Amino acid sequence: MPKTLSKFTCQNCGYVSPRWTGKCSNCNEWNTFVEEITSSSQKKSSHHLKETANIVSLDKVDVEETERIKTNIEEFDRVLGGGIVPGSVILVGGDPGIGKSTLMMQFAGALKEETVLYITGEESLKQVRLRSERLGMSSMKNIFLLAETNMEIISALLNEHLPRVVVVDSIQTMYYSQMESPAGSVGQVRESTAAFTKFAKNNNIPVFLVGHVTKEGLIAGPKVIEHIVDTVLQFEGDNHYSYRILRAMKNRFGSTNEIGIFEMRDVGLREVKNPSEVFLSERKFGNAGSAVVATIEGTRPILVEVQALVTSTSYNIPQRNATGFDLRRLAMLLAVLEKRVGLKLGTYDVFVNVAGGIRIDEPASDLGIASSIVSSLRDKAIDAQSVAIGEVGLGGEIRTVSQIERRVQEAAKLGFKKIIVPKNNLKELRLSGEVEVIGVEGVETAIKELIN
């Protein structure tokens, strides 16, 4: 009989079975078994245990910040919290085709002098080389490739050649041959991540793990490793637009507010350093249903055009649709407009779209969305020189928003002349002469200011 090297453990009750079963015979839960490598097959090292088990007093803990590795891709460094922390494990998630491999390749190239080992499990060496040619970086001498998915082989090679940075593209293709379940299964992904994490910590080498996201927006497989890794970055965007946003969902070494904005060109990703100008670039002046909102992403204010289209419905139930904006929030705004402003929207379809494929989740953009809806309904354009900032409450009141000064400054910088803000925010503002800032208390007065 061959020795079993893996076991299946019920994630609900901990019951161990030598083979996979659908239902746990102990707790009766379904689909809870996940394959794990049995500890007897993993080399136990008592030496390692001794080394890590040290009790120290709080005041003796070394707090000296280790120097971060800078990529000089500003958008990337900012999202990481100011560069890569050596020894950290970073999961880069995103839909297939969004540009994760491109981002990783360009990032590797940006490290210039630092040796990067790029482990490719999805594409052949030739495909990677072709991409690098497209990106104009095929002559880079610091990038080393390894086309392999077997974790036993990878582990051995990694410990032999210690690169400065490791990229694994993708974690879902990595597998241990001693495990029965296929690559990409929870067990395989978890064991592989654990191995890369151990390698990262032991050698103080940062490891980037690329992971695919399912349609539901979950990082399939890698979802289970989010708590193991130090940082989770999400690379997102709409396939129909060229803008891509890199967002930190979790970061043990920095803020999770920051975003990096890129544009996918035919020669790779380009940093977008002036996002407002980009998201306003296609605005047509004098169009009814178009408004400009000032949203804050991380520490950066971004002005974005929002559009609404309100048309008589030809269905029994009017349609409500939103792209880049929360549908429930839209329903709430429509209800407020009905009840507090007296608009009859029950026989109209309402569509809301945020330009450029960006997503806005901030309540501060409520007033902009609401006024674009009114503008489209009445077929009257909003003053093109104005920006609307404010959260709309259920009573139709305009509530204060955070970081008002930043938003107003950005709007002024881009030449907007009239800025509608919540009245209670006025006292925080030191006004400069060039822009007219109007404080409003209710959604109705705000709309009167915006639409003549």
| 59 or 216: CB nearest ligand TYD | 216
Whether the CB-CB separation of 308 and 369 falls below 8 Å is answered with: yes
Which residue in the set 7, 78, 100, 359 belongs to the binding site for ligand TYD (CB under 6 A)? 100
Which residue in the set 9, 32, 101, 192 belongs to the binding site for ligand TYD (CB under 6 A)? 101
| 24 or 91: CB nearest Mg ion | 91
Peptide bond preceding 170 in cis form (omega within 30 of 0): yes
**99 touches, from ligand TYD, Mg ion, none (C-beta below 5 to 8 Å by class):** ligand TYD
How many residues belong to the site for Mg ion (CB under 5 A)? 1
**342 touches, from Mg ion, ligand TYD, none (C-beta below 5 to 8 Å by class):** none
Sites for ligand TYD among residues 133-162 (CB under 6 A): 134-135
Closest CA to 184 of 112, 105, 96: 96
Through-space distance between the first and last CA atoms of the chain, rounded to whole angstroms = 85
Tell whether residue 98 is a contact of ligand TYD (CB under 6 A).
yes
State the nearest-atom distance from the C-beta of 101 to Mg ion, in Å: 3
What whole-number distance in Å separates Cα of residue 131 and Cα of residue 120? 13
Sites for Mg ion among residues 73-112 (CB under 5 A): 101
| 14 or 96: CB nearest Mg ion | 96
Which residue in the set 102, 192, 276, 353 belongs to the binding site for ligand TYD (CB under 6 A)? 102
Q: Which stretch binds ligand TYD (CB under 6 A): 97-105, 109-117, 226-234, 408-416?
A: 97-105
What whole-number distance in Å separates Cα of residue 439 and Cα of residue 445? 10
How many residues belong to the site for ligand TYD (CB under 6 A)? 15
State the nearest-atom distance from the C-beta of 122 to Mg ion, in Å: 6
Beta pairing partners, 271: 262
Which residue in the set 131, 320, 406, 418 belongs to the binding site for ligand TYD (CB under 6 A)? 131
Q: Would the CA dihedral through 43, 46, 48, 54 be positive or negative?
A: positive
Which CA distances in Å does 415 have to 270, 272, 425?
Answer: 25, 20, 21
Q: Which stretch binds ligand TYD (CB under 6 A): 19-27, 92-100, 152-160, 215-223?
A: 92-100
Which CA distances in Å does 390 have to 217, 293, 370, 438?
Answer: 29, 9, 10, 12
Whether the CB-CB separation of 200 and 206 falls below 8 Å is answered with: yes
| 98 or 435: CB nearest ligand TYD | 98
State the nearest-atom distance from the C-beta of 447 to ligand TYD, in Å: 41
**136 touches, from ligand TYD, Mg ion, none (C-beta below 5 to 8 Å by class):** none
Which residue's beta carbon is nearest to the bound Mg ion? Answer: 101
Q: Which stretch binds ligand TYD (CB under 6 A): 13-21, 89-97, 197-205, 222-230?
A: 89-97
Closest CA to 352 of 369, 374, 365: 369
Sites for ligand TYD among residues 212-271 (CB under 6 A): 264, 266-268
Q: List all residues 6 or more positions away from 89 whose beta carbon is below 8 Å from its beta carbon.
A: 193, 196, 197, 200, 206, 207, 209, 228, 229, 230, 231
Which residue in the set 18, 96, 136, 217 belongs to the binding site for ligand TYD (CB under 6 A)? 96
Beta pairing partners, 119: 146, 168
Tell whether residue 201 is a contact of ligand TYD (CB under 6 A).
no
- The amino acid that residue 333 corresponds to is L
What whole-number distance in Å separates Cα of residue 205 and Cα of residue 341? 59
What whole-number distance in Å separates Cα of residue 105 and Cα of residue 140? 11
What whole-number distance in Å separates Cα of residue 87 and Cα of residue 155? 16
Q: Which residues bind Mg ion (CB under 5 A)?
A: 101
Q: Which residues bind ligand TYD (CB under 6 A)?
A: 94, 96-102, 131, 134-135, 264, 266-268
